[in-house]
Amino acid sequence: MTKTYFSKDHEWIHVEGDAGTVGISAYAQEQLGDVVFIELPEVGKALTQGGEAAVVESVKAASEVYSPASGTVTAVNDALVADPALVNRDPMGEGWFLKMTVADPGQLAGLMDEAAYAEFVKGLS
């Protein structure tokens, strides 16, 4: 069973077992505007929950993408390097940033589900 969690920094993680896929939310890509560059981590890199996992640059700003959980990078989305705007077109699908093993599933309890995240975003307007 896949479950999706969101961080207050607007990252999402789809989790199935101990595998996670990470990206930025639709809200985050809307705030950034047109994405023009993405720097992805190396496969094998150890990530710490809340630590920098990637960098995304748009016509407006450069932002860090933080890891929603601790673990190790198992794959990166090379399609983003060639076509960074994929994040704008499909942030919750084909615009994913990285895949990782989740070292401590207990960390996910501190994240929001989709309904809680939607309420959180409403409060930002």
Query: φ and ψ at 12, to 5 degrees?
Result: -120, 155
The Cα 77–Cα 79 span in angstroms is 5
Would residue 43 count as lying in a domain? yes
Q: What Cα–Cα distance (Å) separates residue 111 from each residue in 7, 13, 16, 59, 85?
A: 5, 10, 15, 29, 27
Number of domains in the chain: 1
Q: Side chain identity at 106, as an amino acid letter?
A: G
Would residue 66 count as lying in a domain? yes
Residue 78 belongs to domain with CATH number: 2.40.50.100
Segment 55-96, tens digit of pLDDT: 999 999 899 999 999 999 999 999 999 999 999 999 999 999
Would residue 117 count as lying in a domain? no
Segment 16-65, tens digit of pLDDT: 999 999 999 999 999 999 999 999 999 999 999 999 999 999 999 899 99
Tell me the pLDDT band of 1, cut-offs 50, 70 and 90: low
Query: φ and ψ at 44, to 5 degrees?
Result: 100, -10
Residue in 41, 62, 61, 59 with CA at minimum distance from that of residue 51: 41
Would residue 25 count as lying in a domain? yes
Average pLDDT, the chain: 96
The stretch 102-109 carries a mean pLDDT of 96
